[in-house]
Chains A and B, each alone.
Chain A
Amino acid sequence: MDREQLVAKLKEIVSPYTHDKEALENIGPSTDFIKDLKINSANLVDVILDVEEEFDIEIDNMEMGRMLNVSDTIDIIEAKLPQL
């Protein structure tokens, strides 16, 4: 899966928790979950759990701490996906 596909998947995942739908349409690497998408912090946990389920990976608490925007989240997912 390339980065563009990963961003598209992530967009689907964050969609139900996003309070700024316009920011969601313009999602890009620098999009911040809290500042841009207005996701409330209790729902950040749902985003992490959804990412774990979708990609069948485990995210530890250190990694979770860094998952505040699209590019950092994609970096963490990419590093955990099996290499092709």
Chain B
Amino acid sequence: MLFQAAPALPSEVDLKKTYDAVVIGSGAAGGMAAHVLTAQGLEVLLLEAGKKLDIEAELKSMEWPYDHPRRGAMPYEAHALTSNEYTIRKPPYAAGMPWRNVYSYVQGWSGTDYSKNIVVDEKDHPYTGTNYAWVRARLLGGKTNIWGRLALRLSDLDFKAKSHDGYGEDWPISYADIEPYYAKVDLYLGISGHPEKLPHLPDSRFQRATTLNPAEVRLRQSLRKSGRVLTPYRAGVTTDGLKHNKYRSKCFGRGACSRRVGGCDIHAAFDSPTGLIYPAMDTGKLTLRTRSIAREVLVDAASGKARGVAFVDEGTGAVLEAKAKAVVVAASTLESARLLLLSKSRQHPNGIGNSSGHVGHNFCEHVMGPGAYGFVKDLVGKPRTLDDGRPGSFYIPRFRNLKEKRGDFIRGYGYEGGSGCGLYPDSAAAPGFGKAYKKAVREGAGAGIGLGAFGEVLARYENGVSLDPEVKDKWGIPSLRFHIKFGDNEKKMAADMAVVAKEMLEEAGVEVLGTDTSILTEGWSIHELGTARMGNDKKTSVLNQYQQAHDVKNLFVVDGSSHVSAACQNPTWTIMALAWRSCEYLAEEMRKGNL
């Protein structure tokens, strides 16, 4: 065995007991909260809305396409929303659709059948308002079961962005505050990458990087002339192994990474259950209850403090209560905002933690879509490298608005790229037919290279979510209504992304086959952030620098909703570093009797 199987879940959870802390949500943030709080000696109850899947059987990472009855496609009565549908239809997207099940778009080319049970069924989970691709994963571990694995740090260029360009708000922390926690996350969970000494994309404590193939080396060398960097994908994947974690194997480069939506059945890629929750259960301090849908943070009538959580038991529909001295919300950015807004009481009439009126506002994320792709002519017909065993190909860090300032937009973007040969040849898109086509596919399979950008979406007060006055989910809980639109800065930045992608490839001698200029629907990056931001001013922010509610001392919100701005880096590593820092603070404050 490469790794040890998951521990059994308790059959009965004691709800009479008052736990030290109840954590809502078991993804990157909730898993980290469970890990840190139990390590600090607290008795923790972890509530997860979804169920625990037999994830290895679900992912079937090594299954050949031809061994699947539909070559990986979902059952015919199920449907995954398309990019077009997200744009031309209005939420709730599943309304009026004939399919038995409707899932969000996040499905790989051969992977739809492997992820359908991981994402929610839109029929049960409607939302309304502006167009938005909201990908939710209700199961133990949440979206960490299928995340893209790119693990990046933020820098003071991001934490102090307002000081740099005058827009928005600075974070109430600086890089020096969070650096020790980034390092803890690196070492505890494992990250592969190559140091580049960039001030705006600090290096992690890397395990071995994945290799760069010849096309990527060529692009790296070409970019160097303009002072830009192409670096091996910084992946939240352990390439050297983790001696302290028996639930995870190191990566063996098997080749399942790029053909499925994500997920790793040997857990070399970080996921919250094997990386954080099972080890926390082994301390004897963690109680896990799945299929428990939080619907309200309960408030003590005398003190106004949080006293626990009301949740729906998914199996029976009964509303139950969990009691705790502290409540840690980590339900994912928008679900956390929803829960705060749902938690109305005499003391907190606008929702708990919301005296500022900022819950549900200041949403931010990443804009994506624009990019370019092509092929390296002199690699055509050359022996192919085996590239899809890598957890990712490459990353080109931000280079816009570092020192010089552009007139057309502020902030920046980075590119994620892919190249080389996977199981399914990208070159199958070659024109024509017959022997010439077959040869073109065969010989072109390792020569392709492409890149697409992820850019910072500015946090704006008016962008966000509120409770829908009418629409409810399957459990009778009010749904979210979206008020989210990209603005002028995003559109100008996106135009630059496409132009520069093409230029960089051409400069490196890549024959460009196409450029993508269109912006994908809001939400497409699955990097939703903000809506309960941190800050020093309780009139304009929801949480302090320890993700503690300004209004309620024993309420913490430790997921992406706390982020003040989106930066352009993928947020998972920052979410976990912040949660680690805040939960250490929580434990210390509890010991001091301050909560």
Bound together:
no
